[in-house]
Structure 1
Amino acid sequence: MDSSQPKWVIELNNGLPQKPKNASSIPDPPGFATSKSVTGKQKSQVAARKTPTPEETETLKLKKAWEVALGPAKQIPMQAIMGYMSGNSLQIFSIMMVAMLFKNPIQAIAQTNMAFSRFESPGTRSQMLGVKAVYILMQCLLLGLGVYKVHSMGLLPTTRSDWLAWEFERQPLERAYFASGR
């Protein structure tokens, strides 16, 4: 072998280095504590993890449920920017974006109970109604963003001229005839 090559190249060409015979000679990474490396004083600090009480479990479930309920609020700014960037013309991207603004919230509202079923327990059932209401409100805000986008694209019939097909010709209440002066 060429001695001018660095040590790592030689080791790479020779294959993986063998495991050391004495694995205990390798120090543990910082912050890692095993039962053999823990001294008597540290054993109280690195005690076995205690199981949470039912109250702590319900509190944690409620916190996670609130995170899920407020998740759609984090989507609103992103969807608003995407709606602004897609423009108001009728193009495939803007139409697909509007379709998603309607499809996703409606689907999420329909599956509200399924989304929160993993967080429900007898102790949190009464508090979950408020969480679900906030979740539905956030989904309705996304629906409102979709309605605004459809309106800005000019697809909502909001003016009188949009309904001309259903207008009747006005019949005058009286007629005025001019006299001919011969």
Structure 2
Amino acid sequence: MSALPPPPPQWVIDLNSTPASKPKNLSIPDPPGYTAALSSKQRSQSSKTAVRKAPTTEEMDTLKMKKAWELAIAPAKQLPMNAIGTLCANSHLYLGMYMTGNTLQIFSIFMVFTLFKTPVIAVLSLQRVFAPFETPGTSGRLIGVKIVYVLMNMLMLGLGIWKVNQMGLLPTTRSDWLAWEGERTWSERAVPRQWL
């Protein structure tokens, strides 16, 4: 007579069997994101009530204005990163930036070029950027958003000008204009002219 195989462990039985419905404890809420299994009747009722109504034009205009403001403030969100990059050392390699200083390098030149190019292109493409938000209800309100967008880009351009000045590329000192300075005429001399 052969021996019967041992019974499977309890975890195998639990894995293969369907879970028993647990009693609902009212003191413990379901975790976020949990959806209990619905019966077919409940599913049909929820699908009928889940039909979303179309938003009104006022709601769409409000949503478009919120998105337009987010777009207008976006250059200001890039300003701290660019300021840290230009303050540290003009390099896209932020880890070693503190070592290079305000010297002229390929990285600093590229960064300053980007600080000038990005705001100019953004201002030139102003109408195209805000075209998706233009509706008869938002056209008047978008003027302020566009002004803020231009101002934020001018801040970025100002950061580029400041960085170029820090690198010594702007002629802001007297020594930068020595080629155009004339010879001084002396009103008095300590020695006679013949000795010179």
TM-score range, shorter chain: 0.7 to 0.9
Name which structure has the greater RCO, CA cutoff 8 Å, separation 6+.
1
**CA offsets, 1:17-47, max 9 Å, x none?**
xxxxxxxxxxxx944999945264x457x42
Distance in 1 between the 2:102 and 2:189 partners?
46
Partner residue of 2:180?
Answer: 166
Distance in 1 between the 2:176 and 2:157 partners?
23
1:113 counterpart = 2:127: yes
TM-score by length of 1: 0.73
User: Match for 1:84: what amino acid?
Assistant: L
Residues 179 and 99 (structure 1), Cα distance of their counterparts in 2 relative to 1, 3 Å cut: closer
TM-score by length of 2: 0.68
Residues 150 and 39 (structure 1), Cα distance of their counterparts in 2 relative to 1, 3 Å cut: same
Partner residue of 1:4?
Answer: none
Distance in 2 between the 1:35 and 1:125 partners?
49
Name stretches of at least 5 consecutive residues in structure 2 with no aligned partner: 1-32, 90-100
**Correspondences of 1:10-89 after superposition (within 5 Å):** 30-31=34-35, 36=40, 38=43, 40=45, 42=46, 46-86=49-89, 87-89=101-103
1:129 counterpart = 2:129: no
Q: CA-atom RMSD, angstroms?
A: 2.7
- TM superposition outliers: structure 1 runs of 4+ over 3 Å: 29-37, 172-180
1:171, CA displacement in angstroms? Answer: 2.5
1:179, CA displacement in angstroms? Answer: 10
Partner residue of 2:168?
Answer: 154
Distance in 1 between the 2:109 and 2:157 partners?
15
1:172, CA displacement in angstroms? Answer: 3.2
Distance in 1 between the 2:58 and 2:156 partners?
34
Distance in 1 between the 2:122 and 2:152 partners?
10
**CA offsets, 1:54-112, max 9 Å, x none?**
00010100000000000001000000111123231101101110000000001101111
Equivalent residues, number: 150
